[in-house]
């Protein structure tokens, strides 16, 4: 039987003035954006960490450190593309990814179809293998005050057929 492995990714970024809000590779119209060394795409970062974790490959900070100028302002979809390549090199395929984004504002559901396409294409999987959900903090705490956005991602990956014995 081909081995299956689960992974969990969690990320949070703070809102600041003067930056675009990029989530799942989509620029969402909003009065603030997220602070970060890359495009601060918190959703895509959570997916990267879930996949790296499942494959036993550490985390996003190990592979794409925020001290490296090569990653300044980079589209996080490019990081995800690289993560997908690392998974393939480790002989793993993505079974599914499920993400919950916690944002008091803005409302995100209308942007999920485009984000889903971006993530699925970048991972090289069918859109049905990527699920996106949104929730709020019911105004409780820092996220409830709209100080930033958090994202949780879980994934299942599976060894490609026959890899185990080769
Ligand atoms: Mg991040």
DSSP class of 160? P
**HSE, side-chain direction, 13 A CA sphere, residue 36:** 30
Are 149 and 42 spatial neighbours (Cβ–Cβ below 8 Å)?
Answer: yes
Cβ neighbors of 132 (< 8 A, separation 6 or more) are 24, 43, 99, 101, 112, 115, 116, 119
98-122: per-residue pLDDT in tens? 999 999 999 999 999 999 999 999 9
Distance 61 CA to ligand 1 centre (A): 8
Spatial separation of the C-alpha atoms in residues 54 and 141, rounded to whole Å? 30
pLDDT tens digits, 30-70: 999 999 999 999 999 999 999 999 999 999 999 999 999 99
Mean pLDDT over each residue of the chain, to the nearest integer: 95
At residue 160 the predicted structure's pLDDT band, cuts being 50, 70 and 90, is confident
How deeply is 165 buried, as exposed, middle or buried, from its count of CB atoms within 10 A (0-12, 13-18, 19+)? exposed
Kindly tell me the burial class for residue 52, based on how many C-beta atoms sit within 10 Å of its own C-beta (0-12, 13-18, 19 or more).
buried
43 CA to middle of ligand 1, Å?
8
Q: How far is the CA of 82 from the centre of ligand 1 (A)?
A: 16
How far does residue 46's CA lie from ligand 1's centre (Å)?
7
- Give the pLDDT score at 139: 95
What domains are there in the chain, each with its CATH number?
4-159 (3.30.1330.50)
* Distance in Å, CA 90 to ligand 1 centroid: 23
pLDDT band at residue 163, thresholds of 50, 70 and 90?
low
Report how far ligand 1's centroid is from the alpha carbon of 164 (Å).
Answer: 33
72 CA from centroid of ligand 1 (Å): 12
């Amino acid at each position: 039987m081909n081995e299956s492995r689960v992974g969990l990714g969690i990320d949070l970024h703070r809102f600041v003035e003067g930056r675009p809000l990029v989530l799942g590779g989509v620029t969402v119209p909003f009065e603030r954006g997220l602070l970060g060394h890359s495009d601060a795409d918190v959703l895509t970062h959570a997916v990267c960490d879930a996949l790296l974790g499942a494959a036993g490959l550490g985390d996003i900070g190990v592979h794409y450190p925020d001290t490296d100028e090569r990653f300044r302002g980079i589209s996080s979809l490019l990081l995800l593309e690289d993560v997908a390549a690392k998974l393939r090199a480790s002989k793993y395929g993505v079974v599914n990814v499920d993400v919950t984004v916690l944002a008091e504002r803005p409302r995100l559901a209308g942007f999920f179809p485009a984000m889903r396409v971006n993530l699925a294409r970048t991972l090289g999987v069918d859109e049905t293998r990527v699920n996106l959900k949104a929730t709020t903090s019911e105004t409780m705490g820092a996220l409830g005050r709209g100080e930033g956005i958090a994202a949780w991602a879980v994934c299942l990956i599976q060894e490609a057929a026959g890899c185990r014995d080769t």
